[in-house]
Structure 1
Amino acid sequence: MLQKVILLLIGLISIKGLAQDSKMSIELSYPLPIDNNFVGDNYNGIIDLGFKYRFLELNSISIGGSLNIGYLKNSKKAQNQPFDVNLYSVQPRIFAELNLESIPKIHPSIGLGYSLLYFKVVHNAAVFNSNISTNNQNESGLNINAGLSYDLTDKFMIQAQYDFINIGVDNDIPDITYNKNINILKIGLGYRF
């Protein structure tokens, strides 16, 4: 699935890259789980790839859509653990970005969307016990995003984003903040087309 999304992004960028007034950007960030929750305690960020398209300009506000795809790896290093769990996230959202003439290099933004989280189990063959049942799991929920970018040049920018994700929990999982609220800080670079 990740390969298909990357091919789609490359296709869109190559088509849109030929236009003279493009409103697209691509971002590469490091996702850092923060706060005391099951993701923050068990996963380390690896990479987050983002794609934004601004489709409406209203005075000093740009409205657009974005898609982020992230990868976090289980941080547990126990040698006797029979499996690792990788977390893949897909986050489509609508966003609004502020573009002020008085501070043209700084662009605060806010977004609202949905997060799809895929927990993929990777078996450790050296200690795998066939009596242990492991299943991949999917979770999803509301995503609120706040960001700030700073233009280094007309094309390149640095940025920081904060994602708050509120997922639903099953009946057999306690309905507490630790199990349903996820906080991720993303720091990275972007390129505008």
Structure 2
Amino acid sequence: MKKIYFLSVLVFFLSVGLFAQDQKWSVEANYPISVGDELGNDTPAILDIGLKYRFLNLNKVKIGASINTGYFRQNHNYSVNEESFDFTETHWLIQPKLFAEFTIPSIQKLHPSVGLGYTFTESKNKGIAFNEPSELTRSPGGLSFNLGLSYDVTKRFFLQVQCDYTRSTGTVEGEGYTENIKDNLGFVKVGVGFRF
């Protein structure tokens, strides 16, 4: 089954690559590393995927819109002073933004970019906390700022690094309480992409 799935994806990207000449679209896969406030209990990243569309070409600058989705997950199992904790923590980040991508005339393969958007977060802790069943949810969000740099390996494939900063505000809702939160989320994303 995995071979059929891989072959289908490969055929799709090859056919898109052969027939699309303007390269207005790109897909990317990144690994985000947290460098700001902790996301929950400093939950590690699984993957960040993105889709970009460049709708305006001004020769040295391309203007576009993009959306990225990041997934973070960790299982916790520990005890403190006879209190046991056994829960799963998950975070989904959805980041739509507008961006400008630049071409440097002397280095055609290097493309710096800058973006402005919003980050929506869906966080959930579910399991056992303080020896009791527990479930916490929160949905903070905030304006985000993005700096990026990509390098063309070929005409279609590229490597990239991005830095995202989000000033996130929201509330944590648990059983019997609500708490306001403010976080300065920061991520360095390292990944690859494909233009079509």
**Fold conserved (TM > 0.5)?**
yes
Structure 2 unaligned blocks of 5 or more: 1-12, 172-177
1:65 aligns with 2:65: yes
Cα offsets for 1:103-133 (capped at 9, x unmatched): 1010000000010101123436xx895x444
Alpha-carbon shift at residue 102 of structure 1 (Å) = 1.3
Q: Partners in 2 of 1:71 and 1:158 — Cα distance?
A: 20
Alpha-carbon shift at residue 152 of structure 1 (Å) = 0.7
Q: Partners in 1 of 2:190 and 2:40 — Cα distance?
A: 16
* Aligned ranges 1:15-164 → 2 under 5 Å: 18-35=19-36, 37-39=37-39, 42-74=42-74, 76-78=76-78, 80-123=84-127, 131-164=132-165
Flag the structure with larger Rg.
Answer: 2
TM-score by length of 1: 0.79
Alpha-carbon shift at residue 39 of structure 1 (Å) = 1.6
Alpha-carbon shift at residue 23 of structure 1 (Å) = 0.8
* Residue matched to 1:168: 169
Alpha-carbon shift at residue 134 of structure 1 (Å) = 1.3
Letter in 2 for 1:72: F
The change in CA–CA distance for 1:156 and 1:16 in structure 2 (over 3 A counts) is closer
Q: Partners in 2 of 1:15 and 1:109 — Cα distance?
A: 28
Q: Partners in 1 of 2:77 and 2:148 — Cα distance?
A: 32
Letter in 2 for 1:97: E
Alpha-carbon shift at residue 169 of structure 1 (Å) = 3.8
Q: Partners in 2 of 1:40 and 1:97 — Cα distance?
A: 32
* Residue matched to 1:10: none
Alpha-carbon shift at residue 100 of structure 1 (Å) = 2.2
Cα offsets for 1:78-121 (capped at 9, x unmatched): 36323121111100000000012211010000000010101123
Letter in 2 for 1:38: E
Structure 1 window deviating more from structure 2 (107-116 vs 18-27): it is 18-27
Residue of structure 1 aligned with 2:190, choices 174, 187, 190:
187
TM-score by length of 2: 0.78
Give the aligned length: 174
Provide the aligned C-alpha RMSD in A.
2.7
Q: Partners in 1 of 2:104 and 2:164 — Cα distance?
A: 24
